[in-house]
């Protein structure tokens, strides 16, 4: 490049506006709905580098109404980045045992809900087990025209309070209609409550005795409703509690004591916790924290589910 051209290029670069700084925003709503919705978070990010985000397993269903383009995801990093990725404006995610991978765009916004799996019948008209066959279900297929209309109204609403009001009204109408449908069997509801009360600790035998069923019968009923076994649900609850403890410690600016977290959350030892992290995140706890540090600092993992 000649001197004149180089000088012109330098001048143009100096006059060009600086790249907009990246920003992340998380806004929380008190869900209500008698525990059907455990947390509700509005999110907005701009100017971020496109990366893959790990959607981790949890004892709750994940519902996302995107306010921008479709949510792009996959069972593997290759699928999430490939032509066969899942693309949907409304995400319904069932209970799963490994991470989902989400392609995060330069700009994105939406509302994400953590929904109690035993509320799926009331809110969505199907048991949670029907949402567990793949990494995500297209919410428009399950929620129909009403769900699609709510998404459009959420996109048009000018503020987070108005969006949360719209969504809360929609969910209350869904729940009112769901009261007329067949409900969850009391043995399954009692088993879930027992597991939650014990934070995923306790034996399946003790759980079966609590609901007066054989282990085999309880497991069959539980899986038919939720898509997973009682033992898998217990592991998810234990992991979710441990992850929440770690996140809160890091958000407070303190180094987490993983051995102490393992002991407090019902793991045999630190290695047991690490094994669960590898299954549910594909990473060690320290590697996952390094990857998610910025989201944690911005408050993205403080979802109020513990």
Query: Which tens digit of pLDDT belongs to each residue from 271-306?
Result: 999 999 999 999 999 999 988 877 777 666 655 554
pLDDT tier, 180 (very low <50, low <70, confident <90, very high otherwise): low
Q: Give the Cα-Cα-Cα angle 260, 248, 290 (nearest 5 degrees).
A: 85
**Are 96 and 55 in contact, with CB atoms under 8 Å apart?**
no
Please answer whether residues 22 and 67 qualify as being in contact, where contact means their C-beta atoms are separated by less than 8 angstroms.
no
Output the pLDDT for position 11. 45
**pLDDT for position 12:** 41
Query: DSSP 3-state assignment of 206?
Result: helix
φ/ψ of residue 40, rounded to 5: -140, 120
Tokens of 258: 């993983």
Find out whether 128 and 65 touch, Cβ atoms under 8 Å.
no
* Alpha-helix residue ranges (DSSP H) falling in 96-229: 120-124, 139-156, 160-178, 186-197, 204-210, 215-226
**Averaged pLDDT score across all residues of the chain:** 88
> Going by C-beta distance under 8 Å and a sequence separation of 6 or more, which residues neighbour residue 274?
258, 284, 285
Structural domains in the chain plus CATH codes: 23-178 (2.60.120.10), 186-231 (1.10.10.60), 233-297 (1.10.10.60)
């Amino acid at each position: 490049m000649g001197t004149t051209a180089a000088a012109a290029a330098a001048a143009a670069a100096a006059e060009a506006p600086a790249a907009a700084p990246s920003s992340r925003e998380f806004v929380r709503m008190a869900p209500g709905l008698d525990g059907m919705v455990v947390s509700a978070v509005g999110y907005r990010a701009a100017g971020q580098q496109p990366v893959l985000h790990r959607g981790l397993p949890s004892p709750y269903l994940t519902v996302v109404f995107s306010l921008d383009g479709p949510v792009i995801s996959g069972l593997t990093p290759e699928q999430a980045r490939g032509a066969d990725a899942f693309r949907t404006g409304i995400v319904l995610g069932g209970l799963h045992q490994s991470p989902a991978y989400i392609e995060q765009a330069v700009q994105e916004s939406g509302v994400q809900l953590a929904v109690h799996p035993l509320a799926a019948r009331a809110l969505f008209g199907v048991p949670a087990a029907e949402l567990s066959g793949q990494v995500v279900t297209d919410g428009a297929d399950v929620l129909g025209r009403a769900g699609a209309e709510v998404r459009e109204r959420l996109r048009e609403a000018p503020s987070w309070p108005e969006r949360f009001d719209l969504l809360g009204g929609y969910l209350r109408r869904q729940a009112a209609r769901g009261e007329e449908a067949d409900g969850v069997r009391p043995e399954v509801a009692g088993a879930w409550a027992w597991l939650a009360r014990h934070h995923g600790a306790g034996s399946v035998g003790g759980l079966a005795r609590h609901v007066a069923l054989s282990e085999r019968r309880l497991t069959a009923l539980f899986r038919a409703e939720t898509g997973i076994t009682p033992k898998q649900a217990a592991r998810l609850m234990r992991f979710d509690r441990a992850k929440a403890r770690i996140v809160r410690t890091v958000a407070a600016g303190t180094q987490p004591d993983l051995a102490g977290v393992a002991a407090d959350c019902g793991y045999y030892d630190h290695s047991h916790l690490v094994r669960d992290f590898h299954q549910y995140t594909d990473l060690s706890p320290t590697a996952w924290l390094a990857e998610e540090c910025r989201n944690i600092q911005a408050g993205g993992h403080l979802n109020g589910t513990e």
